Structure 1
Amino acid sequence: MALKVRRVAQLYVGLAFYGLGIALQVSSGLGNDPWDVFHQGLSRRLGLSIGVWIIIVGALVMLAWIPLRQRPGVGTISNVVFIGLFADLFLWLLPGPDALAARWAYLVTAVVMGGFATACYIGAGLGPGPRDGLMTGLAARGWSLRGVRTGIELSVLAAGWLLGGTLGVGTILYAVAIGPLTQAFLPALTIKAPVPEPAPEADPEPAPA
């Protein structure tokens, strides 16, 4: 029971920090990560908030899981709903930085927070995010995971830029740093089920006299 509570708590801490990281990076104005270039572009072109578009796009991506026979977990559903809600909440709460130094502080904090938050929800082991599940589902059918990820992210990045999303140095920094940061945080945040102790061996029967 305690392990399950810890998994759920870590999942939602990760989703909250992920939403905060998105809000910081968007507020910096120095370039969003590829998916948020897309979400921001949709928001600017079609209305609705960035967080609402995060939820809508996440739900649509999950529809692509059906032919791939991917099975969502509670973490998957929570990822779809709560990251967008947290992103909108923190975008509303955060003061907009004016000085360049403050904007860079927002950006660097956002990237580090993104790595920590990703390791949190992956380490909780309650299901991948919808975008991660799409990539792993395609890779399971013989595609290169690196190639699938690169192709999808370049596609949404290009679409987001054409829609008016913010592309910049922050986009490059996120792309370069998010993998190593997640890898660095993951060992400490991976929750492993306890290994059951082996049953004691029965004493050998005494040999007959």
Structure 2
Amino acid sequence: MRASLGVNPWSVLYEGLALRTSLSFGVISAVVGVSVLLLWIPLRQRPTFGTAANIVVLAFASDLGLALIPQNLGLPARLGLLAGGVLLNGLSVAVYVGARHGPGPRDGLMTGAAARTGRSLRFVRTVIELTVLAGGWLLGGGVGAGTVLYALALGPVTQFFLPRFAYRSAAERAAGPRASRSRASRAPR
């Protein structure tokens, strides 16, 4: 948001909803996160501690980040925030999904849809991000070049990092690279 080059698609949705309610950005993030959990039902996903922690941490971190990061930065700083935001978000999704303690609502939607459809994580996440972007834009949320970059890049960045940070059990580690390749071949792409 502070890059002022276009927020991520979910933030476009939150902005659109904020224009129509009196709720803060962080509260809307939490409400939407809980609502997305309903989409897990047909995907046979189940919330875990990591899911609940994601909702709470993301809501507070959003409001904290907006309070701490100054507005009206120069273009180089804004470009750095945009590029860093996309890369770090893809990395963070890969790290906590790979930890196997439960994905957040949006990430469970991604992993569940990828598992049910057999499509790659990058494809599923890109479709989700573009759909949310369209909904947020229709509600009046702001869209910029960074929004489009994020929508198109998050899925591929997440898929790139996930195999590098996925938790492997002791049995998987003992079996060596062959077991990793076998498990990777069954994982959603």
Structures share fold, TM-score greater than 0.5: yes
Query: How far is the alpha carbon of 1:140 from its aligned partner?
Result: 5.0
Instruction: Give the residue type in structure 2 aligned to 1:30.
Output: L
In the alignment, which of 24, 39, 46 is matched to residue 14 of structure 2? 39
The answer to whether the aligner puts 1:159 opposite 2:163 as a matched pair is no
Q: 1:103 and 1:129, CA in 2 relative to 1: closer, same or farther beyond 3 A?
A: same
Residue equivalent to 1:175: 151
Query: How far is the alpha carbon of 1:190 from its aligned partner?
Result: 2.0
Instruction: Give the residue type in structure 1 aligned to 2:129.
Output: E
The answer to whether the aligner puts 1:118 opposite 2:98 as a matched pair is no
Show CA shifts across 1:107-146 (max 9, x none). 1111111122111111111112212323444455558567
SS at match of 1:51: helix
Instruction: For 1:185 and 1:135, locate their aligned partners in 2 and report how far apart those are by CA, in whole Å.
Output: 15
Query: How far is the alpha carbon of 1:147 from its aligned partner?
Result: 6.9
Show CA shifts across 1:51-105 (max 9, x none). 1111100101112323443211211111122111111111111111332222112
CA RMSD of aligned residues (A): 2.6
Query: How far is the alpha carbon of 1:28 from its aligned partner?
Result: 1.1
User: Could you list the runs of 5+ residues in structure 2 that have no partner in the other structure?
Assistant: 176-189
SS at match of 1:64: helix
Residue equivalent to 2:32: 57
Show CA shifts across 1:29-72 (max 9, x none). 11122111101221233132211111100101112323443211
Larger radius of gyration: 1
- Spell out the pairing of 1:1-209 with structure 2 (5 A cutoff): 26-138=1-113, 141-142=116-117, 149-195=125-171
**Structure 1 stretches (4+) deviating beyond 6 angstroms?**
none
Show CA shifts across 1:155-189 (max 9, x none). 32122112222211101221333233323433432
Instruction: For 1:33 and 1:123, locate their aligned partners in 2 and report how far apart those are by CA, in whole Å.
Output: 22
Instruction: For 2:114 and 2:161, locate their aligned partners in 1 and report how far apart those are by CA, in whole Å.
Output: 24
Instruction: Give the residue type in structure 2 aligned to 1:95.
Output: P
Query: How far is the alpha carbon of 1:197 from its aligned partner?
Result: 6.8
Instruction: For 1:142 and 1:189, locate their aligned partners in 2 and report how far apart those are by CA, in whole Å.
Output: 23
User: Could you list the runs of 5+ residues in structure 1 that have no partner in the other structure?
Assistant: 1-25, 199-209
Instruction: For 1:188 and 1:160, locate their aligned partners in 2 and report how far apart those are by CA, in whole Å.
Output: 32
Q: 1:131 and 1:158, CA in 2 relative to 1: closer, same or farther beyond 3 A?
A: same
Between the two proteins, the alignment pairs up a number of residues equal to 173
Q: 1:136 and 1:113, CA in 2 relative to 1: closer, same or farther beyond 3 A?
A: closer
Q: What TM-score does the superposition give when structure 2 sets the normalisation length? A: 0.77
Indicate if the aligned counterparts of 1:30 and 1:166 stay in contact, CA closer than 8 A.
no
Identity %: 50
SS at match of 1:192: coil
Indicate if the aligned counterparts of 2:126 and 2:154 stay in contact, CA closer than 8 A.
no
Instruction: For 1:171 and 1:114, locate their aligned partners in 2 and report how far apart those are by CA, in whole Å.
Output: 13
Tell me whether 163-172 or 127-136 shows the greater mean CA deviation: 127-136
Q: What TM-score does the superposition give when structure 1 sets the normalisation length? A: 0.71
Instruction: For 1:70 and 1:184, locate their aligned partners in 2 and report how far apart those are by CA, in whole Å.
Output: 23
